[in-house]
Amino acid sequence: MPAFLAEHLRRRLTRPAITPPAKTKSGTAPLPDQPPPAPPTEQELVDMFVTFLHDGMSMEEVEGQFSASVDPSRWPDIRRRVLERYEAEKGLMGRPEAPPRS
């Protein structure tokens, strides 16, 4: 048994050490430093919030989830524009078109 142990240790200690590759959190190579994305414009916010309203959210839900992330001085104007556009689009969607006359 001592000869087996000696041979095993000799092989392990004379072999070059293999280091495992460094792991990243996502498993891919890290991206180079990139600037953060630009915040959405007011028009993009209006478009997004109107879409949420059409998808069944209430204005109170939209306001509760997103008003804190928008500049407080801009929120009343954005809210007004969202409601105006939603009401206009809802009115257009509710009217069936008349069938063409022959």
Structure tokens at 30: 């890290």
The confidence score (pLDDT) of residue 4 equals 82
State the chain's mean pLDDT as an integer: 81
Instruction: Calculate mean pLDDT across residues 49-59.
Output: 92
Read off the pTM. Answer: 0.57
Provide the pLDDT for residue 94: 61
* More confident: 44 or 27: 44
Alpha carbons 38 and 33: distance in angstroms, whole number:
15
Going from the C-alpha of 40 to that of each of 46, 69, 87, the distances in angstroms are: 10, 11, 23
Q: What is the pLDDT of residue 97?
A: 58
pLDDT bin (cut points 50, 70, 90) of residue 47 is: very high
Q: What is the DSSP string of 9-66?
A: HHHHHHSPP-PPPPPPSSSSPPPPP-PPPPPPPHHHHHHHHHHHHHTT--HHHHHHHH
